[in-house]
Amino acid sequence: MKIPIILFSEYESKRKCINFAFSDLPNNIHPTGFHRHDFYQILLLEKGSAVHTIDFETYQMEAPAASVIFPNQIHQLEFSDDAEGKYILFDETIFCSAVLANDLKEYNIDLHKKINNLSFKGHEDKFEELTSLYKDMLALYEEISPIKKMQIKFMVKIALLKLIDFSPVENLTSTSDKDLQYYILFRELVDKHYKTERKIPFYSNQIGISQKKLTSLCQQYSGTSPLNLIHDKLSLEIKKLFALQDMTLKEIAYEFGFSSQTALNKYIDAKFNMTPSELKELIVEKVNGKVKAE
C-alpha cells in the first residue's frame, strides 16, 4: 500500500532554513488522504474544526486546539470550511528529546497520545501564549540569521514544553520515586522488546521486581495491566505494518515473533475479533477513504 511520506528536505528546499518552517492554514502541506512526515509538526487550530485521524485513532478538534504529530505517524486531517490556524514544522534537531529522556522522563510516557490532540477550551489564555510564540518566531524567521535561528530553536522547545505541561498527566505522584522509575523502565523495555517478549516474567526479571509489583505499578500509572500495555503496542504496530508494507501473513508472523501464522491468526482474532485478511482489508479501506475511521 502506498502511503505518501512528505520529506522535510523537499518542503524546505527553496526556503530559508532546513531545521524549521512556519505556515498558515490552509496550505499544501497535507494531502487529502492518509500520509506521513519525516519531521515533527505542531498544528494550532485557531478557528473552526477538524477531524484528525492519527495512527487509526480519530479525534474531533474544535478551536482552540493543538496537535503535535511525530515523524512517521500515519494521519489524515479534514478541516471545516472556516478553519484557520498555524503550522510549525521542525526536524529532530529541534525536538527536546534529550530533555525528555533525562530530566523529564515521567512526562515521556505515552507522549504521542498526550499531545497528539489537545483542547484549549476554557484555557484560551494558554492557547494565546502559543500563538504569541508563533508570531515571535515568524518575525525572527522573516529576517533569519544565525542568532535568530538559535532563538527560534529555543522558542520551539518552549512551545513544545508548554504543550507537554498542558497535557494530561495521570498518577505521577507516588510514595516512591523508585516506583515511577520502575514503571518508566517497563515502558521503555516494552518499546524495545514487544516483538519477541510478551510474557510478564521477562519484564519483571529485567526490572528486578515481582510480577505482582509490576502489575500494581501499571495499574497505578496507566490504569491497566502490563499485558494490556504490551498488547496495545503490538496491535498498533501490526496495523501500521498492514498499512505500510505488502507482506505475507507468514512474513508478518515472523516479523512480530509469532511461532507460526496460525499463532498470528489467533492473536488478531482475539484482539480485533476478525481474521488478518479482514483486518488488513479494513485498514486499506480506511486509508483509501472508502470507510470512515471510527
- Whether the per-residue pLDDT at 29 is higher than 70: the answer is no
In this structure, how many other beta carbons lie within 10 angstroms of the beta carbon of residue 166? 19
- Cα–Cα distance measured from residue 36 to residue 202, given in angstroms and rounded to the nearest whole number: 34
pLDDT of residue 208: 97
Residue 21 region, left (φ>0) first, then alpha (ψ -120 to 50), else beta? Answer: beta
- Give the three cell numbers for residue 90: 521542525
pLDDT of residue 13: 54
Listed in sequence order, the residues at least 6 apart from 85 whose beta carbon sits closer than 8 Å to its beta carbon are 24, 25, 43, 44, 45, 46, 47, 48, 63
- Whether the per-residue pLDDT at 79 is higher than 70: the answer is yes
List phi, psi (to 5°) of 47.
Answer: -150, 150
Confidence of residue 294 (pLDDT cuts 50, 70, 90): very low
Nearest to 90 by CA among 152, 132, 36: 152
Confidence of residue 27 (pLDDT cuts 50, 70, 90): low
- Whether the per-residue pLDDT at 154 is higher than 80: the answer is yes
Contact status, residue 276 vs residue 253, Cβ threshold 8 Å: no
> Inter-axis angle of helices 211-222 and 177-193, to 10 degrees?
100
List phi, psi (to 5°) of 185.
Answer: -65, -40
Confidence of residue 15 (pLDDT cuts 50, 70, 90): low
Confidence of residue 107 (pLDDT cuts 50, 70, 90): confident
pLDDT of residue 171: 52
- Whether the per-residue pLDDT at 269 is higher than 90: the answer is yes
pLDDT of residue 293: 43
Tens digit of each residue's pLDDT (9 = 90 or more) over 192-210: 999 999 999 999 999 999 9
Please measure the distance between the N-terminal and C-terminal CA atoms of the chain and give it in whole angstroms. 21
**Average pLDDT of every residue of the chain:** 89
- Cα–Cα distance measured from residue 232 to residue 3, given in angstroms and rounded to the nearest whole number: 23
Q: What secondary structure letter does DSSP report for 78?
A: E
Report residue 187 CA to chain centroid gap. 15
Q: Are strands 49-54 and 57-62 parallel, antiparallel or unpaired?
A: antiparallel
Beta bridge partners of 35: 75
Burial classification of residue 115, based on how many CB atoms lie within 10 Å of its CB (0-12 exposed, 13-18 middle, 19 or more buried): buried
Handedness of CA 145, 148, 149, 150 (dihedral sign): positive
Listed in sequence order, the residues at least 6 apart from 148 whose beta carbon sits closer than 8 Å to its beta carbon are 140, 141
- Cα–Cα distance measured from residue 9 to residue 72, given in angstroms and rounded to the nearest whole number: 15
